[in-house]
Amino acid sequence: MSELAGTRVLLGVTGGIAAYKAALLARLLVGAGASVDPVLSRGAEHFIGAATFEGLTGRKVRGEVWEDVASGTHVELGRSAEVAIVYPATAHVLAKLANGLADDLLTTTLLASRCPLVLAPAMHTEMWEHAATRANVATLRKRGASILGPDDGPLMGGDTGPGRLVDPEDVLAHLVELLPGTRDLAGRTVVVTAGGTREPIDPVRFLGNRSSGKMGFAVAAAAARRGADVHLVAGPASLPTPPGVTRYDVGTTLEMHRVVLDLAARADVVVKAAAVADFRPAAVSTSKLKKAAGVPVVELEPNPDILLDLVERRGGAATPMMVGFAAETDDVEAEGRAKLERKGADLLVVNDVSGSDAGFEVDTNRVVILARDGARVDVPLASKAEVAGRILDEVVARL
């Protein structure tokens, strides 16, 4: 099962006896290919341990807003989540969310997120039926949250009635239904390049660039989630391979060229998010260049242009669809249009990398997608996962 392949799910767990079921949900989500970030409230930790979730999800469990302050954990988690689920959701967390209170990591993260929110309440019948809870649930529903359950059944302490947490299988089914366009790339083969290439000067030095691979990995993850058979050709990047994606690690432009041209022969779409070195040292020293020998002169020679070669190789055919990227600092759109023509791509994703919140290394991007058919789509600042989704929407519309 990989219905949720690559989907980033934020799993909030709050303090109720039913918190143990969240471990089962985490296992189901991971089994469906999702990448799960568990966030436990302090109450949840009285019922179930963080170690259980770390073991099940392979991800670090974040519990406190005071950890990793510099990296803004709540903003990072909130922005990167594609869907958030609170399972179980206590009466207390429903009240906090309805009122916009943010006094712990889970509530700050949810306030910082813009993804669909799913809440699965669990509590005693009296609490569920209380006017305050009713009002809070109505507010949350009005804001677009999905409320799953609660079921009617056995509760803590031998009671029975409405308030029982829905089963994890029901949550999984709901998430699969909720996430839009999940399978619109089913049956398609997508090749994605990501990261920067490294051109060796000597055994320890290279010419490289700042590409982290985040943008390309996000495209690969999103394409896999939408059902594509995804082949990711990655320059050196310390990122986990997205679920359901086949990865090929390469170093130099020549290596990337060889692997991509080979894979492209069976691809429907090639997305070239990699920052490829245009030049490489003409001669690579087999021993480390010595400082004492003075400042070296490194002569460069041109690398092949992978995108140009791909376009040339497909001749007049429409397949594979070619999606290029461009990182520009000045006259972004005009430069992008010119590059689209020059490279013969079908779509060109132009990043404005003049600011610090878009382009290289960061988790967000701001792009304009230019199409050969004249269309243009503005994608304002958003997570790279969201940008990836918008790019694939344009791809799917033209397949």
Site of interaction with ligand PMT (CB under 6 A) = 193, 195, 211-215, 253, 272-276, 278, 303, 305-307, 324-327, 343, 351, 353, 359-361
| Residue (232 or 276) nearer to ligand PMT, CB | 276
Q: What letter would DSSP give residue 223?
A: H
CA terminus-to-terminus distance, the chain: 25
| Residue (10 or 275) nearer to ligand PMT, CB | 275
User: Nearest distance from residue 357's CB to ligand PMT, in Å?
Assistant: 12
Closest CA to 219 of 76, 385, 383: 385
User: Nearest distance from residue 309's CB to ligand PMT, in Å?
Assistant: 8
| Residue (96 or 366) nearer to ligand PMT, CB | 366
CA triple 164-156-53, angle to 5 deg: 70
Provide, for the chain, the percentages of residues in helix, strand and coil under a 3-state DSSP scheme, each rounded to the nearest 5. 35, 25, 40
Is 209 part of the annotated catalytic residue set? Answer: yes
Marked catalytic residue, from 209, 303, 351, 365: 209
User: Nearest distance from residue 124's CB to ligand PMT, in Å?
Assistant: 48
| The dihedral formed by the CA atoms of 233, 176, 61 and 14, expressed in degrees to the nearest 10 | 170
| Residue (179 or 340) nearer to ligand PMT, CB | 340
Within 10 Å of residue 318's Cβ, how many Cβ atoms? 11
Q: DSSP letters of 73-129? A: HHHHHHHH-SEEEEEEE-HHHHHHHHTT---SHHHHHHHH--S-EEEEE---HHHHH
| Residue (30 or 348) nearer to ligand PMT, CB | 348
User: Nearest distance from residue 75's CB to ligand PMT, in Å?
Assistant: 18
Reported as type and span, the H/E element at residue 11 is: strand 8-13
| Residue (9 or 218) nearer to ligand PMT, CB | 218
User: Nearest distance from residue 210's CB to ligand PMT, in Å?
Assistant: 6
User: Nearest distance from residue 46's CB to ligand PMT, in Å?
Assistant: 40
Closest CA to 252 of 213, 220, 281, 212: 281
Q: CA-CA distance, 238 to 188, in Å (whole number)? A: 27
User: What are the residue numbers of the active site?
Assistant: 209
